[in-house]
Amino acid sequence: MSGGRPVQVRAEVLTLRPVGDYLSLTLVAPGVADDVRPGHFVALAVGGEQSSMLLRRSFSVYRATPGGRYGGTVEVVFAPHGAGTRWLAGVRPGDAVDVVGPLGRPFALPAASSGAASCLLVGGGYGAAPLVALAEQLRERRCRVDVVLGAASAGRLFGVTQVRRYASSVSVTTEDGSQGERGRVTDVLPDVMRRGGTQAVYACGPMGMLAAVTAAATRAGAVAQTAVEEAMACGIGVCMTCVLPVVGADGTTRMVRSCTEGPVFRGDRVRWADVGTVPEGTLGAPVAGGHR
C-alpha cells in the first residue's frame, strides 16, 4: 500500500445524488481523505449491522476533501447492479456506513526531474472517476494532459465536464453514437497519441478495455498504467479473491493481489488473456509432482 496508513471509520452519509446513469455518494469520513491519491480506493461495508452480506464493496475514490467544514469527505461513484450496491443506493443523509481506506497503490506520477511529460488518460464508464483528480495533479506538474472517455451510451459517460478544466484535449466515444464519436475508446487512441506525442498512458475501466489500451500504448512506444477492476472482497490482502497473473521485473509470472500490489499495474506486465486463471509457468502454480 502507498500513502498514509488505512483507517476504519463509521462514516456518515452526506449526499447521494444521480450522475447520469450512476450514483455519487459522499461520505463524511475523517482520516480517510487525508492521504488519498488518484487510484486509491475505499472498501464499504454494505447491508447494515444485521446483514448477511459480509464482504465489502470496493470503489475508486472520485474526490477526497481533507478537513474543511465536515472534517474530511470522500466521494465515490457507482452503479447499483447487485445486492450490495442496491443497498448503497438506498442510504440517506445521516445514515452510517463503515469505511476502510485509503487502500491500494495509486497511479505513479512522472518524476519531477524528468520534466513535463505528455500524458493520456483513458476512462471507461464510471471507471473514469479517479482520472479527474489525476488530470488535476498532472496539470499542476505542467504535463500535457489529453483525455479519452468512452461508454456504451451518453448516460454512462462520466467526468467529461469535470476533466475539461485540466485537459489539453478531451475526446468522447459512445458505442451507440449518442455522444462524441461512435465506437470505442481504442478507435481514437492512435490519433490522439500521435497528436499529443504521448509518453505515458493512464487507464481505468473494464478489463477488456485496459488490455486494448495497453496494446495501443505499447504500439505507440508509451508506457501504460492500468487500474484493474477485479472484485476485492476484503481490500487488505487477506481473502485472495482478487489475484491475477502479473509478470515481474525478473520475467517470472506471479499471482498478485489487486488490492495490495494494485489496483494500478503496468499494463504490459499484466497477462490479460490469462486473467481468471493460473497460467502455466506461474510461480507457485501446481505442477505434476508438486509446486513450482
> 112-152, pLDDT tens digit by residue?
776 789 999 999 999 999 999 999 999 999 999 999 999 99
Residue 214 marked in a binding site: no
pTM of the model: 0.92
Residue 113 marked in a binding site: no
- Reading the block at residue 127, the C-alpha cell is 471507471
Each domain of the chain, given as residue ranges in start order, spans 7-103, 105-227, 229-285
* pLDDT value of position 286: 63
- Reading the block at residue 82, the C-alpha cell is 447487485
In this predicted model, what pLDDT tens digit does every residue of 76-118 receive, in sequence order?
Answer: 999 998 999 999 999 999 999 999 999 999 999 988 776 789 9
Residue 65 marked in a binding site: no
Residue 119 marked in a binding site: no
Residue 195 marked in a binding site: no
Residue 57 marked in a binding site: yes
State the CATH architecture for 105-227: 3-Layer(aba) Sandwich (3.40)
In this predicted model, what pLDDT tens digit does every residue of 277-291 receive, in sequence order?
Answer: 998 889 876 666 555
Would you tell me which CATH number, out of the four given (2.70.70.10, 2.40.30.10, 3.40.50.1260, 3.40.50.1820), belongs to the domain 7-103?
Answer: 2.40.30.10
169-174 vs 181-182, strand pairing mode: parallel
Residue 25 to residue 16: CA distance in whole angstroms: 5
Tell me the residue type at 101: G
Residue 98 to residue 43: CA distance in whole angstroms: 8
Residue 259 marked in a binding site: yes
Band of residue 2 on the pLDDT scale cut at 50, 70, 90: very low
Backbone angles phi, psi at 135, to 5 degrees: -60, -40
